[in-house]
Chains A and B, each alone.
Chain A
Amino acid sequence: MSLKDAKVGGIYQVVGMQAEKKTMRRLEALGILEGTRMEVLNRKRNGTAIIKVRGTRWAFGSDIAAGIKVEEYAV
């Protein structure tokens, strides 16, 4: 599934990423890579989401959220 469909309050692990090269590089530099865990703090119906990763909150547009493939992380 993609982050776009993630549940609010859930903790997920990144299993794959697709984005424009530039966006991809930025995400990676922010420490968002395969294997990274993130918490979904909020999400809108169109997929725009607030996530918390490595202690920082980020707002991701729906296009970015759609490109981040995640699976639920067993807590």
Chain B
Amino acid sequence: MKASRDNTISVGFVGNPNCGKTTLFNAYTGANLKVANWPGVTVEKKTGETYYKGQKIKLVDLPGIYSLTSYSMEEKITRKEILDDEIDVIVNIVDASSMERNLYLTLQLLEIGKPVVLALNMMDIVEERGMELDLHRLPEMLGNIPIVPVSARKKAGLEVLMHAVKHHYEEQGSVFLLPYSPEVEEKIRQVEEMLYKKRSEETNLRWIALKILENDEETLQEFPIDSNSILDKDYEKMIINQKYDYIEEIIEETLFNKEQKEAFTDRVDRVLTHRLWGVPIFIGIMALVFFLTFTVGDALKGIFESGMEMLFAGVTDILVNFHISEWLISLIVDGIMAGVGGILTFLPNIAILFLALAILEDSGYMARVAYVMDSIMDKVGLSGKAFLPMVLGFGCTVPAVMATRTLANEKEKKRTILLTHFMSCSARLPIYVLFASMFFGRYAMAAAFSLYILGLLTAILIALVSSKFSKEMSKTALLIELPEYKMPNVRTILLYVWDKVKDYLTKAGTTILIASVIIWFVLNFNMQGMVNDITKSFGAEVGKWLVPVLAPAGLGLWQVGVALIAGLSAKEVVISSFSVLYGINNINSSGGMSQFSQILAGSGFGPVNAYALMVFCLLYTPCIAALATIRRETRSTRWTLMLVVFQLVLAYAVAVLVYQIGSLLI
């Protein structure tokens, strides 16, 4: 046993995607890393700590992988980490309900030669399905390595698992090496011999030999041996086949009543992934999500508003009573409270939106969307896989852009990034909610939903056009696991929603707060100092330049110009700006709305203008955070700037079109 640094045992969590690895990690560390039901969520390692009987244990959560080859980014990261000296024990999380697939990785992990502890997760699903797993025979067939049933969701078996880790580490207990056919074993021996002559210090020669026989590029680079004389056959296939043969044996001997209740997922899939109904059902589900966001969010809004109103009144009273100078009162009441407070009342809508997205994700539906949309995406030269980042875009463009990393080639990645922006993110939701409610009465919801559809159509159209321009169309092949449907886990979902709510509050307290203060400043000052007449302020000056430009789009009010510029910091700031511009407290309340719509109507701003404004907000340049992410992911300032220009031109053109046609019709 090697002396460990400061007596800490380092444990690597390794497992297939969807095996509950991150949930288990969270159960130990109390962290709330995002858990999602599709691959590519854990793209980098996360670490945490736990203690077992005074023993400090460092946990490393690694990206989910199906095998230890080095083809995908996830595989490379995970493989590098577990081969590194720093990991003392590997905890292999196995989804007991799909052992046949999970055990392949297990057999590979065992070949590395480090202590492996198997955590059998999702035993409850196994039982639910009426299956039985022989927990006595299973370890026997895997060389008596410790196998611990756990439930990541119910937090059961956690202590036992860490006990096994500590014990297995200290004892350096059993290892299991799958015996291959004599032919393969002979080859392994030959390669081991060749390796030993050169690198006798290596402790896991068998692992290296196997990887060489599998023609693994990384290993061949690190251990250059004359492989041509040895690789006279496709040993890789033989090795894979023999592993799976052994897995079949294991399943045969340990798992009983296999096929009983699996039909549920298949029955659901027959409907949800139907050749004709699949797409309409997806659009229907998104419409339902939106409907809930709109109605339930609105119902909850009332509570928020009365709270907010009391706060406004209270703070104003206090400020006035304390005889604080007028400019400071103005800053706090007209700037911060109007700007930030106006945004806070949309919190219920945002929370409901993320709740719905989390349920769709956790239940297993989202992976199906990739299949359902694949034929449409195919027509525009993209893979169905590229649709997943786009769905994430309904939440926020930043993670959506990051998720494009899972796409294989640069060109497809950029094309997808271009599209994610047109999915209406949650920051655009408040704009739709407010303007649709003010101007479209009982058609408010339809008006707002039409923007989601418009965004989707724009994305598809742009993908189509861009596919005509690029000659060579290589796209990532769609290859995605469709997990079993399951009841969403309440804890996972609440953690996820809470995380998003926190993000929103943080944003309100930082970006939006700062933006509100700046807006208040530019609207209350000019070169001479503080102004009484807002139309003489800096802000008004800038806004007025934009009036002639924006007029053809029906946005020819200087206030709109100011709000749109401010909205570059974050799309919600468009709303904050209007609150500050027109001095409306609680803009999302019925009082605030009627006050605001009257003012706007007074300047000739009607439903057509409102729709043009919403369209402009849908299409124009994403917020600074999204742009920074795009710049980082594409590593191209030039491309990012071109994107900005393109989106501005597009937003302007479509808004003009909408306004001009709309004005003719009405």
Residues of A within 8 A of B (CB): 19-20, 22-23, 25-31, 33-36, 41-46, 48, 50, 54-64
Q: Do residues A56 and B104 form an inter-chain contact, with CB atoms below 8 A?
A: no
User: What residues of B have a CB within 8 angstroms of the CB of A28 in the complex?
Assistant: 236-237, 240
The listed residue with most B CB atoms (<10 A of its CB), out of A58, A59, A63, is A59
Using an 8 Å CB-CB cutoff, how does the interface string of B349-376 with A read, 1 for contact, 0 for none?
A: 0000000000000000001101100110
- Range of interface residues on chain B? 35 or more
B97: nearest residue on chain A (CB-CB)? A55
User: What residues of B have a CB within 8 angstroms of the CB of A36 in the complex?
Assistant: 244
Q: Do residues B244 and A54 form an inter-chain contact, with CB atoms below 8 A?
A: yes
Q: Which residues of B240-299 have CB atoms within 8 Å of chain A's CB atoms?
A: 240-241, 244, 247, 265-266, 269-270, 273, 275
Do most interface residues of chain A lie in helix, strand or loop, or is the interface mixed?
mixed
Q: Does B393 sit at the interface, judged by CB under 8 A?
A: no
User: What residues of B have a CB within 8 angstroms of the CB of A58 in the complex?
Assistant: 479-482
Contact (A29, B101) CB under 8 Å given A48-B371, A59-B374, A60-B479: no
CB distance from B46 to the nearest CB of A (A): 24
User: What residues of B have a CB within 8 angstroms of the CB of A25 in the complex?
Assistant: 69, 71
User: What residues of A have a CB within 8 angstroms of the CB of B482 in the complex?
Assistant: 50, 57-59
Contact (A31, B101) CB under 8 Å given A60-B478, A63-B477: yes
Q: Which residues of B362-406 have CB atoms within 8 Å of chain A's CB atoms?
A: 367-368, 370-371, 374-375, 378, 383-384
Contact (A56, B100) CB under 8 Å given A26-B479, A29-B66: yes
User: What residues of A have a CB within 8 angstroms of the CB of B273 in the complex?
Assistant: 42, 50
Q: Do residues A22 and B479 form an inter-chain contact, with CB atoms below 8 A?
A: no
Using an 8 Å CB-CB cutoff, how does the interface string of B89-116 with A read, 1 for contact, 0 for none?
A: 0000000001111001000000000000
Q: Do residues B66 and A30 form an inter-chain contact, with CB atoms below 8 A?
A: yes
User: What residues of A have a CB within 8 angstroms of the CB of B375 in the complex?
Assistant: 44-46, 48
User: What residues of A have a CB within 8 angstroms of the CB of B367 in the complex?
Assistant: 59
Q: In the complex, what distance in Å separates the CA atom of A28 from the CA atom of B235?
A: 12
Q: Do residues B71 and A22 form an inter-chain contact, with CB atoms below 8 A?
A: yes
Q: Does B67 sit at the interface, judged by CB under 8 A?
A: yes
Contact (A31, B481) CB under 8 Å given A22-B71, A59-B367: no
Q: Which residues of B3-43 have CB atoms within 8 Å of chain A's CB atoms?
A: none
CB distance from B181 to the nearest CB of A (A): 15
User: What residues of A have a CB within 8 angstroms of the CB of B69 in the complex?
Assistant: 25-26, 29
User: What residues of A have a CB within 8 angstroms of the CB of B479 in the complex?
Assistant: 23, 26-27, 58-61, 64
Q: Do residues A20 and B374 form an inter-chain contact, with CB atoms below 8 A?
A: no
Q: Which residues of B560-575 have CB atoms within 8 Å of chain A's CB atoms?
A: none
Q: Do residues A44 and B244 form an inter-chain contact, with CB atoms below 8 A?
A: no
Contact (A33, B370) CB under 8 Å given A25-B69, A46-B378: no
Q: Do residues A59 and B240 form an inter-chain contact, with CB atoms below 8 A?
A: no
Q: Do residues B477 and A48 form an inter-chain contact, with CB atoms below 8 A?
A: no
CB distance from B240 to the nearest CB of A (A): 5
Q: In the complex, what distance in Å separates the CA atom of A35 from the CA atom of B248?
A: 14
CB distance from B555 to the nearest CB of A (A): 42
A–B pairs, 29, beta carbons within 8 Å = A23-B477, A28-B236, A28-B240, A29-B67, A30-B101, A33-B237, A33-B240, A33-B244, A42-B269, A43-B275, A44-B275, A45-B375, A46-B374, A48-B371, A48-B378, A48-B384, A54-B100, A56-B101, A56-B481, A58-B479, A58-B481, A59-B368, A60-B477, A61-B374, A61-B383, A61-B477, A61-B478, A62-B378, A64-B478
Q: Do residues B67 and A59 form an inter-chain contact, with CB atoms below 8 A?
A: no
B104: nearest residue on chain A (CB-CB)? A31
Which residue of B72, B240, B269, B371 contacts A31 across the interface (Cβ within 8 Å)?
B240
User: What residues of A have a CB within 8 angstroms of the CB of B483 in the complex?
Assistant: 57
B379: nearest residue on chain A (CB-CB)? A46
User: What residues of B have a CB within 8 angstroms of the CB of A62 in the complex?
Assistant: 374, 378
Please list the 10 inter-chain residue pairs (A to B) with the smallest Cβ-Cβ separation, ordered nearest first.
A61-B478, A29-B67, A59-B371, A57-B482, A55-B100, A54-B100, A48-B374, A56-B101, A31-B244, A61-B477
Q: Do residues A59 and B241 form an inter-chain contact, with CB atoms below 8 A?
A: no
CB distance from B100 to the nearest CB of A (A): 4
CB distance from A43 to the nearest CB of B (A): 8
User: What residues of A have a CB within 8 angstroms of the CB of B275 in the complex?
Assistant: 42-45
The listed residue with most A CB atoms (<10 A of its CB), out of B270, B367, B374, B483, is B374
User: What residues of A have a CB within 8 angstroms of the CB of B371 in the complex?
Assistant: 42, 48, 50, 59
User: What residues of A have a CB within 8 angstroms of the CB of B100 in the complex?
Assistant: 31, 54-56
Q: In the complex, what distance in Å separates the CA atom of A48 from the CA atom of B275?
A: 10
Which residue of B247, B265, B374 contacts A57 across the interface (Cβ within 8 Å)?
B265
CB distance from A39 to the nearest CB of B (A): 10
Q: In the complex, what distance in Å separates the CA atom of A24 from the CA atom of B648?
A: 42
Which residue of A33, A54, A56, A59 contacts B478 across the interface (Cβ within 8 Å)?
A59
CB distance from B364 to the nearest CB of A (A): 10
User: What residues of A have a CB within 8 angstroms of the CB of B484 in the complex?
Assistant: 57
Contact (A57, B477) CB under 8 Å given A33-B241, A48-B374: no
User: What residues of B have a CB within 8 angstroms of the CB of A64 in the complex?
Assistant: 477-479
CB distance from A62 to the nearest CB of B (A): 7
Q: In the complex, what distance in Å separates the CA atom of A50 from the CA atom of B478?
A: 11
Q: Do residues A55 and B478 form an inter-chain contact, with CB atoms below 8 A?
A: no
Q: Do residues B244 and A42 form an inter-chain contact, with CB atoms below 8 A?
A: no
Using an 8 Å CB-CB cutoff, how does the interface string of B162-188 with A read, 1 for contact, 0 for none?
A: 000000000000000000000000000
Q: Do residues A55 and B98 form an inter-chain contact, with CB atoms below 8 A?
A: yes
CB distance from B391 to the nearest CB of A (A): 15
Contact (A50, B101) CB under 8 Å given A22-B71, A61-B479: no
